[in-house]
Amino acid sequence: MDGLRVDAVASMLYLDYSRSEGDWVPNVHGGRENLEAVSFLQETNATVYRRVPGAMMIAEESTAWPGVTRPTHLGGLGFGFKWNMGWMHDTLDYLSRAPVFRAYHHHQMTFSMMYAYSENFVLPLSHDEVVHGKGSLLRKMPGDRWQQLANLRALYGYMWAHPGKHLLFMGGEFAQEAEWSEARSLDWWHLDDPRHRGVTALLKDLNGIYRATPALWERDTSPDGFSWIDANDAEDNVFSFLRWAGDPASGDPTRSGPAAGAPAAGTVLACVTNFSGIPHTDYQLGLPFAGRWREVINTDATEYAGSGMGNMGSVVAVDAARHNQPASATLTLPALATLWLCYEGSGQN
């Protein structure tokens, strides 16, 4: 067994879930919590992890019940992961809006970091979002077909750099146009279109670079593995943040944190997303270290069927403070695109 994803956990946890007053009986303490369901879930999770080490137990739980992923011996439900329903709803709502209106909803995208470390989260773009008249991920995006695909690529780049694990339902990997139905096959013919193949190529590269970059996962459940560069650039529709890893050479997990000195190459990554419909040239971005930063992902690259606008593979940060960072670089941010920049050190040519 690989694991279990338990649906609608909230309906088990609350005695009054979807029930009118008078249609439920309080627990022995007079509360609405279903104590027997809590015990059942705790025992189920503990038994699975004991008998199948490495299994994944994932809760789809839509309320703020505390400790869903806390170990059972500490009073939690004992799941390994919880779907981040708030992140999903806020992100898709923001991206469904035309770029000209996104500035008024900017903090829908930043709010998830207020609670990102309260549980071990999965970021779900699941079957639930592409069925029953909701439309495919592609059709949720505004604009013409080029803009829809660019929005989707930018979302994937932002999502893969955001703390949390990543769940993408089948068809999302090549930007399926029709919503999913169990009655028919996926629209595999989209792969004859280079624009859709570009989405597949992007996801392949995102997965490969993610695996090879400890900054994206080594401190995924620790607040010191993430720091905003600028969470407030609503006017430009730009979000920028840093992901951090420890120094594998020294074994010191604080070596390359925000308060430490310059890290080994590749142990810090900057993610910059422009959800505006226009490019930003000469964009000044604060960075923690002077030196060369390699552009390892540009979702607008031609190999992903983008326009090819970017930074010629790298930027050089200089000792000029910006965004409360000691260094800064001048970037070209393509419209509807995400960039990943990996620090390569001050001695790079």
- Which are the catalytic amino acids? 7, 60
DSSP per residue over 169-212, as a string? -TTGGGT-SSPP-TTS---GGGGGSHHHHHHHHHHHHHHHHHHH
- Report the length, in residues, of the chain: 349
Angle at 116 between CA 269 and CA 162, to 5 degrees: 30
Closest to 327 measured CA to CA, from 341, 337, 313, 338: 341
DSSP-derived pairing of the beta strands 291-298 and 238-244: unpaired
Structure tokens at 230: 């600028």
313 within 8 A of 292, measured Cβ to Cβ: no
* Amino acid, res. 107: H
Contacts of 105 (CB under 8 A, 6+ apart): 93, 94, 97
- Distances, alpha carbon 158 to alpha carbons 69, 130, 145, 216, 240, in Å: 24, 20, 20, 12, 9
Q: Could you tell me the CA-to-CA distances from 12 to 17, 94, 254 in Å, in that order?
A: 8, 31, 41
87 burial type by CB count under 10 A (0-12 exposed, 13-18 middle, 19+ buried): buried
Closest CA to 25 of 33, 77, 286: 33
User: Do residues 297 and 338 make contact, with C-beta atoms less than 8 angstroms apart?
Assistant: yes
Q: Could you tell me which residues are beta bridge partners of residue 268?
A: 244
Say how far apart CA 91 and CA 160 lie, in whole Å. Answer: 13
